[in-house]
Structure 1
Amino acid sequence: MPAAVGVIETLGFPAVLAAADAMVKGGRVTLVYFDKAERGNFVVAIRGPISEVKPAVEVGLEAAEKTFGGKVMSYYIVPNPPQNIVSVLPIEYTEAVEEWRSVW
């Protein structure tokens, strides 16, 4: 099945929390990465089928922008990421993530 990666970077924690919540509720996707970026920015990454990642990122962007003080710094979607991307970025499905993937 073709997979994609969606990433949102926001200014401040409340916005990234709202984005992450909206993304996992807005599509059949798995949260694979969450961390601080730089200067108060936070980043969240999801993976899933291409047809689910795009709408999930869209609702995540909307939720982040609606959050008080929330600002989206950047976002991107990578359909069918090649193996070199997966090996460099921390977007692999880990054991902790696999538990939640099997639910859907």
Structure 2
Amino acid sequence: MPLAVGVIQTDGFPPVLAAADAMVKAGRVTIVYFGLAERAEFLVAVRGPTAEVRAAVAAGIEAADATPPGGRLVSHYIVPNPPENVEAVMSIDFTPLVERFRV
């Protein structure tokens, strides 16, 4: 079954933490990537069935927007079925580190 990928980018750590927490609680998704972008912007990416990723990203957006002043949502995006070459090049595939959390 093809799995979607959803990404949220925030300015500051508290909003990305709130987004990641909300995402895994709102949908049957697994965090596959977390990282620092630039200028103190953070990224979190989740994988799962498309409907679950959509629900998770929506919850993550709401959580990031609700964090106290000093942080904010920068961007978000959902790819319903990324091709294998995108998975191979970008850090959005399941790694041994996250495999035990795969849903």
TM class by shorter chain equals: over 0.9
**Residue equivalent to 2:26:** 26
The superposition leaves residues 17-67 of structure 1 with CA deviations (integer Å, 9 ceiling, x where unpaired) of: 000000000000000000110001000000001110001000000000000
**Residue equivalent to 2:76:** 75
2 CA distance for matches of 1:55 and 1:13? 22
TM-score, length-scaled by structure 2: 0.95
Which 5+ residue runs of structure 2 have no aligned equivalent?
none
How many residue pairs match? The answer is: 102
Q: CA deviation at 1:6?
A: 0.2
**Residue equivalent to 1:92:** 93
Q: CA deviation at 1:100?
A: 1.1
2 CA distance for matches of 1:16 and 1:43? 7
Q: CA deviation at 1:2?
A: 2.4
Q: Percent identity?
A: 61
**Residue equivalent to 2:4:** 4
Runs of 4+, deviation exceeding 6 Å: none
Q: CA deviation at 1:98?
A: 1.1
Which 5+ residue runs of structure 1 have no aligned equivalent?
none
Q: CA RMSD in A?
A: 0.8
2 CA distance for matches of 1:37 and 1:52? 25
